[in-house]
């Protein structure tokens, strides 16, 4: 199925669920049930691109609930944990808000980097959804006195979480949000004007998310993402922050001993190491006719001197079993690797996974491993292009599959080409790192005096721009495939994908769609 049709289907299902499961007036009598459904619908839009990245039909409902929220339901026990000084000046006090922070992936590392760059500030980290322990780095910062951590998971309801977060915000003069796309708590908490200025870190720039209505500034980590925030997320202001991770910062200027790293991984002398971080691409596995794991399998079969290391997938995964020549013993599926430095250092070439690239992994592999990058083909400037994070004018994007393999051939056989490419990009990353603290401080100074505003969002309709088509092509979740499999047997598949067409078959498959999209939650 082509991506345009996928968007039409996604948008029709989204609108159907919105109008039948979220907007009915009777649900306003049960706020927690309504919030559960809002979160579920945002999850559906996050996973199955509906042709827009934010929507006032859904988010403005949260703003109306924010106005009515009772301040008396804030959790007193959590507030008592905050080191409050009555009458104190909140100058240089920053609130950081996240839904979850995990060891794997780059999300938590971005938050960690921001915390480190604001050394000397009072920093309060609030977690809205996570029950389990945070990554060790945050616990260390708390023990060292660099960070206060408050967890809202002990609150009895979503409204209680939001009221508590709003109360905490009274003690700071700036809030930076890092929530997951489906988390309604920040919108509820900051949905009134009596809040500090709110900066939203756009770490899920590929997807739909809740939050633009309460964001005074949307932070993006590539200039292209800033443009997207203005045009597709209704951003009032944007800020370009070329964020980089800091866990290996002390090695920024150190030489890399590739032979030693390869030896530690039992790679024979003279063989080449290829590396990719593929965690996201194990979830989002479809990209039109392209498949990264199929491509990776072709590479290993074509080049007997190549060892392929994949972080984020285990050998038992169905994609590994289906596409990778595991019997060669030159494919190493490593699963989750908290500290991948030795793999960066052993890598001669870093393969940018698709359709969901790891931009942080790409930067680290170049900067700390001196691995030459090979980006995926077919996206020269779009949302999914990792090349957006580089300031260099280098031509890094293959045009098509033939160009991709031609560039790979050159990188495999020409070590000088690898070294020259790495030298340019590593120098750029070193320069970015050298000015990063001043940029982060600029972010604070420019925005600490803003008056917080709340802006209801326009109602969105599906668009079919190149970015929409690319994102829609990669959102082939299991639940979505189940919906599509079921719909293929109905009259809907041969008609225009309008809401009226969807409603005409409600009796036949409406309950089924709700069960798949919402995972069985709520009443039919």
Q: Tell me, what's the pLDDT at 490?
A: 43
What pLDDT does 477 receive?
47
Q: Which residues pair with 350 in a beta bridge?
A: 275, 373
- β-strand pairing of 349-351 with 174-178: unpaired
Output the tens digit of pLDDT for each of the chain's 524 residues: 688 888 998 899 899 889 998 999 999 999 999 999 999 999 889 988 999 999 999 999 999 999 999 999 999 999 998 865 444 455 689 999 999 998 877 888 899 989 988 988 999 999 999 988 999 999 999 999 999 999 999 999 999 999 999 999 999 999 999 999 999 999 999 999 999 999 999 998 889 999 999 999 999 998 899 999 999 999 999 999 987 766 787 787 888 999 999 999 999 999 999 999 998 777 666 555 568 899 999 999 999 999 999 999 999 998 899 999 999 999 999 998 988 999 999 999 999 998 888 888 999 999 999 999 999 876 556 888 888 888 888 888 898 889 999 999 999 999 999 999 999 999 998 888 888 889 999 999 999 999 999 999 999 999 999 999 888 887 544 445 544 554 444 434 443 444 444 444 333 333 344 444 444 443 32
Query: End-to-end distance of the chain based on CA atoms, in angstroms?
Result: 29
Decide if 444 contacts 172 (C-beta within 8 A).
no
> What sign has the CA pseudo-torsion 75, 80, 83, 89?
positive
Region of 379 (left: φ > 0; alpha: ψ -120 to 50; beta: rest) is beta
Q: 3-state DSSP call for residue 9?
A: helix
Q: What are the residues whose beta carbons fall under 8 Å from the beta carbon of 152, sequence distance 6 or more?
A: 75, 78, 126, 127, 128, 129, 161, 164, 165, 185
Q: What is the DSSP letter of 456?
A: P
How much is the pLDDT for 333? 96
Instruction: Output the CA–CA distances (angstroms, integers) from residue 3 to 179, 224, 233, 293, 359, in the order listed.
Output: 28, 22, 21, 21, 24
Give residue 429's pLDDT: 86
468, 481, 467: which is closest to 285 by C-alpha?
Answer: 481
How far, in Å, are 17, 53, 473 from residue 464 at the CA level? 21, 12, 12
CA gap 486, 493 in Å, rounded: 10
- The pLDDT assigned to 60 comes to 98
Cis peptide before 147 (omega within 30 of 0): no
Q: For residue 4, count CB atoms less than 10 angstroms from its CB and return exposed for 0-12, middle for 13-18, buried for 19 or more.
A: middle
CA distance 390 to 363: 9
> Helix, strand or coil for residue 301?
helix
Alpha helices of 400-504 — where are they, by DSSP H? Answer: 401-413, 415-447, 466-473, 478-487, 499-504
The DSSP call for residue 267 is P
Q: 280 and 203 in contact (C-beta within 8 Å)?
A: no
Nearest 5°: the CA angle 282, 288, 294 is: 50
- What is the SS3 assignment for 204? coil
Give the C-alpha separation, 320 to 324, whole Å.
5
Q: Answer for the pair 248, 364: CB distance below 8 angstroms, yes or no.
A: yes
**pLDDT for the residue numbered 508:** 33
């Amino acid at each position: 199925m082509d991506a345009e049709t996928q968007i039409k289907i996604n948008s029709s299902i989204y609108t159907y669920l919105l109008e039948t499961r979220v907007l009915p007036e009777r649900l306003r009598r049960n706020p927690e049930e309504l919030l559960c459904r809002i979160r579920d619908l945002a999850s559906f839009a996050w996973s199955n691109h509906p042709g827009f990245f934010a929507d006032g039909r859904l988010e403005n409902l949260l703003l109306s609930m924010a106005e009515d929220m009772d301040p008396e339901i804030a959790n007193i026990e959590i507030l008592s944990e905050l080191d409050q000084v009555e009458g104190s000046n909140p100058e240089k006090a920053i609130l950081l808000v996240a839904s979850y922070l995990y060891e794997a992936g780059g999300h938590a590392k971005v938050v960690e980097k921001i915390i480190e760059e604001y050394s000397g500030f009072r920093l309060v980290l609030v977690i809205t959804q996570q029950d389990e322990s945070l990554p060790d780095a945050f616990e260390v910062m708390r023990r060292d006195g660099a960070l206060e951590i408050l967890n809202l998971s002990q609150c009895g309801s979503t409204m209680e979480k939001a009221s508590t977060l709003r109360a905490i915000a009274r003690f700071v003069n700036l809030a930076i949000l890092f929530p997951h796309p489906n988390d309604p708590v920040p919108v509820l908490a900051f949905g009134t004007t009596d809040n500090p200025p709110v900066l939203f870190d756009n770490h899920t720039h590929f997807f739909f998310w809740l939050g633009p209505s309460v964001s005074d500034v949307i932070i993006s980590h590539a200039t292209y993402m800033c443009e997207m925030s203005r045009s597709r997320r209704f951003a009032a202001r944007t800020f370009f922050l070329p964020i980089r991770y800091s866990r290996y910062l002390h090695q920024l200027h150190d030489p890399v001993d590739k032979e030693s790293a390869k030896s530690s991984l039992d790679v024979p002398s003279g063989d080449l190491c290829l590396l990719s971080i593929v965690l996201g691409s194990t979830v989002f596995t479809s990209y039109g006719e392209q498949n990264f794991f199929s491509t990776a399998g072709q590479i290993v079969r074509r080049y007997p001197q190549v060892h392929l290391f994949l972080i984020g997938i285990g050998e038992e995964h169905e994609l590994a079993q289906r596409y990778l020549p595991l019997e060669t013993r030159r494919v190493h599926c490593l699963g989750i690797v908290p500290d991948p430095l030795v793999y960066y250092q052993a890598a001669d070439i870093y393969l940018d996974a698709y359709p969901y690239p790891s931009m942080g992994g790409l930067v680290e592999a170049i900067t700390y491993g001196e691995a030459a990058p090979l980006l995926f083909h077919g996206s020269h400037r779009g949302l999914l292009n990792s090349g957006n994070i580089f300031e260099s004018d280098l031509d890094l994007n293959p045009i098509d599959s033939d160009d991709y393999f031609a560039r790979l051939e050159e990188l495999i056989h020409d070590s000088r080409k690898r070294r020259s490419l790495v030298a340019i990009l590593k120098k750029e990353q070193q320069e970015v790192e050298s000015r990063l603290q001043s940029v982060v401080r600029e972010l604070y100074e420019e925005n600490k005096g803003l008056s917080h505003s709340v802006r209801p969002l326009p109602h969105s309709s599906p668009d079919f721009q190149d970015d929409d088509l690319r994102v829609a092509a990669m959102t082939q979740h299991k639940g979505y495939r189940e919906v599509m499999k079921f719909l293929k047997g109905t009259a809907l598949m041969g008609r225009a994908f309008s809401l009226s067409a969807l409603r005409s078959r409600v009796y036949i498959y409406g309950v089924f769609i709700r069960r798949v999209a919402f995972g069985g939650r709520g009443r039919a």
